[in-house]
Amino acid sequence: HFGGATNDKRQSLWLSFLLGKAGGYEKMRFVIQRVLESEVKADGEVLGKIGKGFMVLIGVCDSDTKEIADKMVKKMIGLRIFEDEQGKTNLSLDAVDGELLLVSQFTLYANCKKGNRPSFIEAGAPDMAKDMYEYIIAKCKEQGLTVKQGRFGADMKVSLVNDGPFTIILDSDTL
């Protein structure tokens, strides 16, 4: 039941519900792994390689904006998840001269509710998602960080040594 909504609005809400986009499914998503080292390859070529820092898988949906990306980048860069002298997670990426490896990954939007074959309808359209991925890379570089990246849309091989392990999932709707 959608209250006093017009027929067009009801149809739009119902379609969103059927497509799995109701209830906050549309959001930018970063999976951040604190690493000692990480590397991404495509077709046997090393595209990016970092030492200590974050390997970040980035998922984008159609409703994402540059403003959302700005918030996500600010939160990610500010995370204090590196250990200080007392062994407490109290230091940020820049405090440890950390690096970033940014990898696009539409499969972060896998919907496995029906059957055993995931649906990716919630992922952003490729052109829009590529533009947003490139925007995120540029924003990170503006912060003066060392940034390496994968190749959008490529079949990539990612290797890493997860430090901890320490993995954080950032969703834009929870910021």
User: What positions carry a catalytic annotation?
Assistant: 105-107
Angle at which helices 126-142 and 66-78 pack, to 10 degrees? 40
Q: How many CB atoms lie within 10 A of CB 125?
A: 11
Look at residue 12 and give its three-state secondary structure: helix
Question: Which helix (H) or strand (E) element contains residue 123?
Answer: none
From residue 94, alpha-carbon distances to 86, 107, 161, 162 in Å are 18, 29, 20, 18
- Residue reference for tokens 């990480």: 38
8 A C-beta contact, residue 93 and residue 77:
yes
Strand residues in the chain grouped as ranges (E): 29-42, 45-50, 53-59, 82-83, 89-91, 99-104, 146-149, 156-171
Residue 24: DSSP 8-state: S
